């Protein structure tokens, strides 16, 4: 999933106009649909952007590799102002992507740890008045991980041109 910082360019109305797209058009067809309906032209670039780096706090690392589970399972639930990520045999790259998706930021795995790990995290979606911890506290206390501000090369979608779609 692209974060807002990973898309740029195009006419101003792309930031304000909203369209309902029939999701029966799955991934391979979606690009063609957007290209046809919006005369969308785009390209990909790699740019250095502000990100959060997921790193290990070596003094507190408390997770261990799961070598027994036959498959990876990763579930994210949101409700009551909280976000919960529960996973079995989850790679650190998958965990970083999932956290980033919930934070609306790019999170990159900078640990280089191979394998899959069991995770069970719950944090406050908005910290104001919440008893749940922040994602920063939750990662540190339960897994011995940290999110550190950094810059990293990130794939960015650059819209070259687009036209407003007409009704069906």
pLDDT digits (tens, 9 = 90+) for 59-98: 666 777 888 988 888 888 888 788 899 999 999 999 999 9
Residues 6 or more apart from 66 whose CB is under 8 A from it?
Answer: 88, 89, 115, 116, 117, 118
Which residue numbers in the chain have pLDDT < 70? 1-4, 14, 18-28, 59-61, 126-132, 166-168
How far is the C-alpha of 101 from the C-alpha of 2, rounded, in Å? 8
Question: Which pLDDT does position 101 carry in this prediction?
Answer: 87
């Amino acid at each position: 999933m692209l974060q807002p910082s990973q898309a740029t360019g195009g006419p101003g109305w792309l930031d304000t106009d909203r369209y309902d797209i029939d999701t029966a058009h799955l991934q391979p067809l979606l690009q063609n649909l957007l290209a046809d309906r919006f005369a969308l032209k785009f390209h990909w670039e790699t740019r250095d952007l502000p990100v959060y780096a997921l790193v290990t706090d070596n003094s507190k690392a408390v997770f261990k590799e799961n070598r027994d589970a036959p498959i990876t399972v990763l579930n994210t639930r949101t409700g009551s102002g909280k976000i919960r990520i529960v996973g079995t045999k989850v790679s650190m790259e998958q965990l970083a992507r999932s956290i980033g998706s919930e934070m609306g930021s790019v999170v990159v795995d900078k640990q280089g740890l191979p394998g899959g790990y069991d995770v069970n995290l719950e944090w406050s979606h908005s910290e104001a008045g919440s008893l749940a911890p922040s994602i920063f506290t939750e990662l540190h206390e339960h897994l011995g991980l940290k999110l550190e501000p950094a810059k990293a090369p990130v794939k960015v979608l650059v819209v070259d041109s687009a036209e407003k779609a007409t009704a069906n």
